[in-house]
């Protein structure tokens, strides 16, 4: 493996772009099975409508339709008719991630990808589909099922000057690499006296999915937030998914990019021209006057669904997608608190030691004098996520709870 990375480092663009022909490494039967494999994606448009792949059974189609619309609330003030008239192109969130990754691999020959099934299979959620054929097996490296090993390999590659993107097939699996992420990824720049930078991106799907069970429904933001030297961001739309991916790859710091498993099929129109998002900046989703609602990732859509009800009841909530989980954008958050004087935090993370707890502490320390009411935090229950769908739903914050919390906060 050291030879592989020496070749990557020394050969620059020529060695990277003219790498091993990936098709020659596959047997005929393997190529046939890969080409025959079909992937079905239900598509959630920005207006909340669902397009199902034709050919599936009616029963399955009805079930997907029911689950998807419950999982991702519709965006406010958007319609399919208006989106088609805007400039740009429509992409699903996982496609936006791939487009950002591909643009950076074209721009910089030092960018490479590694992880389980990221190569010819295209990743567990198809974020890297087609990249192995375009860039070869040295830049899109399939690894064994050994998270601690290939995460450490990515960190070592970053120390030599490469810019690896390490994909965890599921964020919960990265607990196996916690030693590498904590003791090496976050600290080597400091412990080496500044001799090394670690420009690595660690990304993958997480969050409460759809009956994935406790071990595959992890929210690791709370685990990683205490590691010095690491930045954390969470994408929630195709637009910021691409922008945050590109910014994370260009950063000289190690960045963990959290993607929610239920948002991959969210569709949005994004600009044709190149753009990046600030890794330390929150997003104003909806300006308001009565209460500041801070959220991120999937809960953004639960909040916006609740906001429709709140507006009908006469409330004017201000919704902020914090996006940067570490560090917090206290400039935007503080200005909002000074205006509304009330704060509601909505997260999918666990209540004990979660992002909401850290955010509550930061707001209390910096803006306590501007608060007219105690900060309220709605979080997932401190229990393993049940497999049963009805019980799973009970453990996660729902729009009705957000409406009730705002009503009580604004009394």
Give catalytic residues, as residue numbers: 147, 216
- SS3 of 389, please? helix
Cα gap 51→85, rounded to integer Å: 19
- And the tokens for 131? 């990249």
Closest CA to 143 of 125, 169, 179, 108: 169
Rg (CA), the chain: 22
In degrees and rounded to multiples of 5, residue 342 shows phi and psi of: -140, 140
Could you tell me how far CA 285 lies from the centroid of its own chain? Answer: 17
Cα gap 399→307, rounded to integer Å: 9
Closest CA to 8 of 177, 151, 154: 154
* Contact status, residue 325 vs residue 290, Cβ threshold 8 Å: no
Cα gap 269→95, rounded to integer Å: 12
Q: Which residues, 6+ apart, have CB-to-CB distance to 58 below 8 Å?
A: none
């Amino acid at each position: 493996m050291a030879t592989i990375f020496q070749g990557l480092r020394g050969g620059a663009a020529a060695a990277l772009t003219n790498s091993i022909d990936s098709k020659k490494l596959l047997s005929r039967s393997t190529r046939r099975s890969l080409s025959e494999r079909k992937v079905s994606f239900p598509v959630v448009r920005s207006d909340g409508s669902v397009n199902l792949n034709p050919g599936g059974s009616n029963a399955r189609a009805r079930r997907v339709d029911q689950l998807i619309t419950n999982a991702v609330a519709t965006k406010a003030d958007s319609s399919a008719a208006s989106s088609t008239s805007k400039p740009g192109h429509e992409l699903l969130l996982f496609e936006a991630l791939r487009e950002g990754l591909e643009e950076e691999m074209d721009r910089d020959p030092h960018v490479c990808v590694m992880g389980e099934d990221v190569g010819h299979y295209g990743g567990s959620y198809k974020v890297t589909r087609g990249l192995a054929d375009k860039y070869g097996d040295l830049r899109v490296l399939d690894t064994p099922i050994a998270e601690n090993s290939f995460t450490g390999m990515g960190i070592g590659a970053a120390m030599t000057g490469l810019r690896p993107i390490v994909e965890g097939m599921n964020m919960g699996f990265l607990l196996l690499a916690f030693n590498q992420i904590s003791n090496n990824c976050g600290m080597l720049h400091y412990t080496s006296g500044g001799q090394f930078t670690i420009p690595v991106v660690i990304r993958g799907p997480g969050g409460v999915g759809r009956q994935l069970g406790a071990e595959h429904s992890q929210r690791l933001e709370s685990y990683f937030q205490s590691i010095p030297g690491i930045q954390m961001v969470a994408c929630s739309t195709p637009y910021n998914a691409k922008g945050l991916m590109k910014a994370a790859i260009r950063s000289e710091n190690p960045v963990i990019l959290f993607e929610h498993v239920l948002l991959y099929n969210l569709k949005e129109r994004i600009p044709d021209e190149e753009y990046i998002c600030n890794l330390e900046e929150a997003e104003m989703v909806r300006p308001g006057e009565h209460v500041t609602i801070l959220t991120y990732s999937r809960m953004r859509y639960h909040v916006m669904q609740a906001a429709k009800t709140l507006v009908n009841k006469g409330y004017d909530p201000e919704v902020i997608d914090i996006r940067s989980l570490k560090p917090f954008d206290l400039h935007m958050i503080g200005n909002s608190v000074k205006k509304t004087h009330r704060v509601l935090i909505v997260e999918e993370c666990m209540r004990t030691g979660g992002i909401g707890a850290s955010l509550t502490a930061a707001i209390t320390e910096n803006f306590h004098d501007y608060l007219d009411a105690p900060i309220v935090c709605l979080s997932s229950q401190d229990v393993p996520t049940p497999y049963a769908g009805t019980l799973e739903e009970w453990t996660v914050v729902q729009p009705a709870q957000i409406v009730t919390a705002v009503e009580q906060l604004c009394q």
